[in-house]
Amino acid sequence: MIALVDYRAGNLTSVKKALAAVGAHVFVPEQPSELSAASGIIVPGVGHFGATRALDRSWIDAIVAHVEVQRPLLGICLGMQWLFEASDEAPELSGLGVLSGRCVRLGRVRLKPDTTSVRCVRLQADPTIKVPHVGWNTLSLLRESWIADGVANDAQVYFTHSYVAPITGAAVATTEHGEPFAAVVERGPVAGVQFHPEKSSAVGLRILRNFVARAQ
């Protein structure tokens, strides 16, 4: 059984339909203790990083316990960003922290060093880059992985987001919108996709099918 975590950060209906299409049995847990029965956990989400505040210590502990016994965890969009340590979108909050790094806003440019301040680098928005990034874009694969098995280099998937995760050793694929960013990540049983597989046609279904297979 796949647990689909509902923390009021997106419509779960389309994700449920996509999982049903790949033969998954899905339930929505009401309490963190119910995650112990899950063979896999999916954390979906759209919107502001602040919504992850609803995933309090009891949820975090249950999800970490799930990962520690090598059962798979998948973060989708905001859910993927939550896998990292933090996000500039809500700097007062911590992420799950199973992946290293901090999420940042798209479309930033570096300015000249500020000699009047102890801060050597200032950032501002680049008006030439449209944010949020909405629509189909291309995946550039970096390495083999279980979550992207069977996904072709240059495959097209559907994005809608304003913040992005860094390209680290966990990155499986990148996408570029003004700047390159991590589009697919994986470390052990933990995986994440910045795009929406439930809206990404056959490629998205392949991603979900890979996750379900890992959870069996």
Which of 66, 161, 177, 196 does the annotation list as catalytic?
196
Beta bridge pairs of residue 175: 181
Angle (CA) 62 67 68, round 5°: 95
Q: In this structure, are residues 175 and 138 in contact, taking their beta carbons and an 8 Å threshold?
A: yes
Please indicate whether residue 198 is annotated as part of the active site: yes
User: CA geometry: angle at 193 spanning 152 and 160, to 5°?
Assistant: 105
**Burial tier of 94 (Cβ tally within 10 Å: 0-12, 13-18, 19+):** middle
Which residue in 66, 161, 177, 198 is the catalytic one?
A: 198
Catalytic residue (choose from 66, 77, 103, 161): 77
Tokens matching residue 145: 């992985």
Farthest CA pair distance, the chain:
60
Torsion angles phi and psi, residue 102, rounded to 5: -130, 140
- Active site residue ranges: 77, 196, 198
